[in-house]
Each structure stands twice: as structure tokens, then as C-alpha cells.
Structure 1
Amino acid sequence: MKNLQETDYPAYYSNYINQVENSDCIDALEESMNDFVNFIENIVPAEKYEYRYQPEKWSIKEIVQHIIDAERIFAYRALRFARFDKTPLSSFEENDYVDVCAADKREMSDLLQEFLLVRKSTIKMFESFSDEMISNKGIASGGEVKVLAIGFIISGHAIHHQKVIKERYLKN
């Protein structure tokens, strides 16, 4: 499956990797990008973008911003490890990022444009990696992860949040 072994990533990323049906990393990145944008653009009415199913939960706009922020961080990790940088990288506190992102003050079209730019950049970066680079590993958030696995984590992360939005935000 996806040319990955269980030793290629920490177990806590299994949920994201298992969301991805496509076995090609680049195709998975493109497919999840297109599916996610199409899904978000078809949410009506637009007021739903700021809906929270519980007061302490993120809005849909904040989820989109979170996906963008997380992708930038994951892509940075992939770049470092693909370039054989062995420096362990720390984790990030996603709630702290969302608390200050001001996503609800932005237009969804602006957030989606940013998502597309970030994802297209991620795709170009992964396309540039040699077989050796894509197979390299590094330490992030206390666990060893292969560059290839990071590509599937990025795809699966967007798919995961798309499912959360469907299940928890759009039932009303």
C-alpha cells in the first residue's frame, strides 16, 4: 500500500495516511486538492463558513486555515528531510495557530486561493524529489517519518478534515 511500511511514519499519522486511496503521492496530492476545493466551494449558504457546532470548536474557515498552516509545516519537514537534514524538528500547537489566524475575517475565496497556491507548491516540491530524497527519513514531533509518508499525510489531513466538516458542520 502506497509503498510505505508501518516503520515509515509514527502510528499517530495512520489515520491520515489511511484516508488516502490513491497509491501515487503526486496523484493523491492533486486529487485531494481538487476534491477539497470543490467541496468547500459547494457549501451553502456561505454563512456556514463561520459556523461552529460547539462554541469552542473551529469554524470551517479556521479549519481551512489550519489545513494551510499544517501543510506548510509538513512541506517544510519534507524539504528538510529530502535534503538530508538530520536536525530533529519540533511539533506545533495547532490550537495556538488557529487562535491567532483571524480566518473568520477573511473571504473563503481568499483562503481557497491560498490553499491552492500552497498545495501546488507542495506538488512541485514533491515532483522535484529524487527516489533517494523521497525515501529519506527525519525526526519530527518526536517520531521518525519518511518524506514519502509526509506527502500522504498532507493529502490525508485534508481528507480527514473534509469528512469532519461533512459529519459535524453540515448536518443542519
Structure 2
Amino acid sequence: MTVTDLSASEYAPFYAGYVDLVPPGITLRTALDDSAAGLAEYLNEVSEGGEDYSYAPGKWTIKQTLQHIIDSERVFAYRALRLGRHDATPLPGFEQDDYVAWADLSRREFRRMITEFEMIRKTTIALYNGFGEEDLKFQGTVSGGTVSGGPMSCRALGFIICGHTYHHLKLFRERY
């Protein structure tokens, strides 16, 4: 399955920007591997102390952005688990700014956070490896329907996970 196999009805327009960042023709597994490797490679090149850089006042630092990526991956993977198990219970959204604000990053080591991201991505890959075709096509409501605007498929969520990572990698390369 590739991103071009998705129908626009499997995700809300809000997520189209993420889906569009996934290169056409590559499989979900390849996109999961590639986006994680690209992010880890970039982050491992950040010099000591560079993780506290922000490109503008009020914008997240590299370290805060990495925490956001980690938190988001966990939330997205939980949503994927629910959809992959054909659970149609509407899932609530989460406020990303609150998550970052409440994360006490002063006691977190940046290099360990990179490792944490890599480990979480491996569990996301393992989760998706366990889904069958019908599981991947199952649709449910995520973000309380407010952001998503309607049903989302499990497979679309997988590509959104990749696109979210590509999105932040693109921002890192352009602004940090």
C-alpha cells in the first residue's frame, strides 16, 4: 500500500498537508522508516546546546519540537490501535501546546529523547505490521471530529504519522 492508494475520503482536508509530504510510490513501511531516519539524522547533527534554539520568539525550540513529535506519535499510534481493532468509539483530540507547556524538558537529555523517538517509531512500525487489509481500511472519528472533520482510516493515519514527521523535518531544515 502506498500513499496514492488513499482516497481523500479517508482523512480530513486538515491532514492533506501531511499526506502530501509523503513521497508517492513508497509503501507505508518505507515511509515510516524513511521519515524516522531523516529526522534522527538531522537531530543527531544538532550541536551541543543547539537543541535550545528557536527561530523566533514564541516558537518552540528544537527540543520542544522533538517532544511534540514524540507526544504526537504516541497519540497517533493509540488512535491507530483503536482503529486497527475496529473500535468506532469517537476519540478526543489533544492540545499540543498544553502538552509541550507541561513537559519539563529541563530534566530531559536531548540525545535520549532522540533515542526515545526512534524506539517509539519502532513500536509504531510493529503495530502497523500487525494490521490486515481490513484493519487498515477501518474508519473512525478522531480528534472528536473537530480537527479531522469526519472519519479517518487506520491506513491514512499511518501516512499522517509519516507526513507529520516529514513536516517537522522540513521546518527544521528551513528555519533552524
In structure 2, C-alpha distance between the alignment counterparts of 1:106 and 1:2, rounded to whole Å: 38
Runs of 4+, deviation exceeding 3 Å: none
**What is the SS of the residue equivalent to 1:46?**
coil
Deviation at 1:104, TM superposition (A): 4.6
Aligned position for 1:40: 43
Tell me if 1:144 matches 2:147. no
Deviation at 1:27, TM superposition (A): 1.0
User: Residues 14-53 of structure 1 correspond to what in structure 2 (within 5 A)?
Assistant: 14-21=16-23, 22-43=25-46, 45-53=47-55
In structure 2, C-alpha distance between the alignment counterparts of 1:52 and 1:27, rounded to whole Å: 30
168, 171, 174: which one aligns with 1:164: 171
In structure 2, C-alpha distance between the alignment counterparts of 1:146 and 1:73, rounded to whole Å: 15
User: Residues 57-76 of structure 1 correspond to what in structure 2 (within 5 A)?
Assistant: 57-76=59-78
Q: TM-score, normalising length from structure 2? A: 0.91
Question: Quick check: 53-62 or 119-128, which moved more?
Answer: 53-62
Letter aligned with residue 114 of structure 1: E
Tell me if 1:108 matches 2:110. yes
Aligned position for 2:88: 86
Unaligned runs of 5+ in 1: none
In structure 2, C-alpha distance between the alignment counterparts of 1:67 and 1:23, rounded to whole Å: 22
Unaligned runs of 5+ in 2: none
Aligned residues: 168
Aligned position for 2:161: 154
CA contact (8 A) 1:59 1:104 kept: no
CA contact (8 A) 1:29 1:155 kept: yes
Deviation at 1:129, TM superposition (A): 0.2
CA contact (8 A) 1:50 1:104 kept: no
In structure 1, C-alpha distance between the alignment counterparts of 2:105 and 2:44, rounded to whole Å: 16
CA contact (8 A) 1:17 1:156 kept: yes
- The alignment yields a C-alpha RMSD, in angstroms, of 1.2
Q: TM-score, normalising length from structure 1? A: 0.93
